[in-house]
Amino acid sequence: MSPGNSELEPDFELFVGRCSRSLLRTAFLLTGDYGHAEDLLQLTLLRTARRWPAARASPDAYARRVLINLSRDRRRDAGRRVRESPLTDAYPEDASGAVDVIVERDALLSALRALPARQREVVVLRFYADLSVAETARAMGSSAGTVKSYTARALARLKQLLANPTPTLSQPRRGLT
């Protein structure tokens, strides 16, 4: 699968079918923006496709690591750009959804967005992707101790944020937080 050749390996196509949904959702939780999440997913899969011989042994872990790195790059870039007004409906909203579900989801996503970046990564990887401490540490490129420490702080902060939710969606912010 060299650049300039559009053929994808059959097992890579299977991997995309199996993992793209979970990767997109992870990217959305990390970035808080559907457009960014879709971009991240595409870039992640593209990089994985280019390194498929190396990634084939453990494609999920490889793609997750790429996704985390790309989301960090994007955050760094966004910090240097002009201010963004976040979208109030950052991903396609289902109008038929019950109001309380939407409110609950909004509160959770706002709280998640209010966490520092590394703490958010830990929460997403451990509690959305259901990774162990060791797997999370590998995906983040940190030690297990650091992951445990981030987890404890993130959970305490989340608890505090969800107990006293503050509307953050309409506040302008610098790039992505």
**Comparing C-alpha atoms, which of 134, 4, 3, 161 is closest to residue 61?**
134
Minimum distance between the CB of residue 99 and another protein, rounded to whole angstroms?
15
Please report, as residue ranges, which positions from 72 to 101 form the binding site for another protein (by CB under 8 A).
Answer: 77, 80-85, 87-89, 91-94, 101
The C-alpha R_g of the chain, in whole angstroms, comes to 17
Comparing CB distances to another protein, the nearer of 21 and 116 is 21
Strands (E) across 13-135 are located at: 83-84
Q: How many CB atoms lie within 10 A of CB 162?
A: 14
Structure tokens at 173: 């912010």
Q: Show the site string, 138-157: x = touches another protein by CB under 8 A, - = not.
A: --------------x--xx-
Site for another protein in 112-141 (CB under 8 A): 112, 123-124, 127-128, 130
User: What is residue 125's DSSP assignment?
Assistant: I
Q: Are 75 and 117 in contact (CB under 8 A)?
A: yes
Q: Which residues bind another protein (CB under 8 A)?
A: 1-8, 13, 16, 20-21, 24-25, 28-29, 34-39, 41-42, 45-46, 49-50, 77, 80-85, 87-89, 91-94, 101, 104-105, 108-109, 112, 123-124, 127-128, 130, 152, 155-156, 158-159, 170, 172
